[in-house]
Amino acid sequence: MSPTLAVECKNLKKSYYVGTQEIPALRGADLAVNTGELMMLVGPSGCGKTTLISIVAGILGHDEGSCVVFGNNFSTMSAGQRTKYRSENIGFVFQAFNLIPALNAAENVAVPLLIRGMSQSRAVARAKDMLEMVGLKDRFRSYPAQLSGGQQQRVAIARALIHDPKLIVCDEPTSALDAETGHSVMEIMRNVVLRGDRALVIVTHDSRIFSFADRVAHLNDGQIGKITTPAEALATH
């Protein structure tokens, strides 16, 4: 694997089963993401985008092919090793937010640091800094049920970034945000990859943020059909 590659997936195949019926999600997907790159994945609903990024993030296994992330092949790791690697190196923004209802915003954002053994006081202090960065300075103590969808989205993004991961994977990170807030959040995430040793992969239907990408991968029927510039993607969207 080239040292310039953050992610290298080759011939990835993944199927789900309903009873005995096989439903293919990925049919031989190939994807290469460079360090210092923001790659966006676009395509129709049900084409395999969320499955692909879940495999890249080490959350989901695959049936065939290979997926190597910063030189690490999840297929050769034990479940414990994968969990440890994810906690230290990968940030994931789920489309459904996945916030913990019983924790306030700062506590939710602090979770990745607590898992790594940081004291609660230090972790929450760091979490407040991250929440301020995403425009939620006045909502530290608010619980998820007290936040709008857009505010919950920003809490989820802050949580994904707080442990300074090498790879950030996002599923529709701006879907619940207005244009101005979405632009601000994308600027934050764009600055992360500008460091050069990080990478960001975003699944999106939001053409308003295409301009933040370096490249756009078009997924259809479980395969990457083409990779274009943001301008080309916008012209055909």
> Domain 5-95+165-236 has what CATH class?
alpha beta
Mean pLDDT value across the chain: 91
pLDDT in tens, 139-164: 999 999 999 888 998 899 899 999 98
User: What pLDDT score does 2 carry?
Assistant: 47
Report residue 235 as tokens.
Answer: 């012209």
**Rounded Cα gap, residues 211 and 126, in angstroms:** 30
Residue with tokens 């949580």: 159
Cβ-Cβ contacts under 8 Å for 221 (sequence gap 6 or more): 27, 47, 48
Q: Give me the numbers of helices (H) and strands (E) for the chain, helices first please.
A: 7, 10
| Complete DSSP assignment for 56-123 | HTTSS--SEEEEEETTEEGGGS-HHHHHHHHHHHEEEE-TT----TTS-HHHHHHHHHHHTT--HHHH
Whole-model pTM?
A: 0.89
pLDDT in tens, 43-63: 998 899 999 999 999 999 999
Domain ranges of the chain: 5-95+165-236
- Residues (pLDDT < 50) of the chain are 1-2
**Rounded Cα gap, residues 9 and 67, in angstroms:** 4
Residue with tokens 């065939």: 64
Report residue 225 as tokens.
Answer: 């059909």
User: What pLDDT score does 115 carry?
Assistant: 87
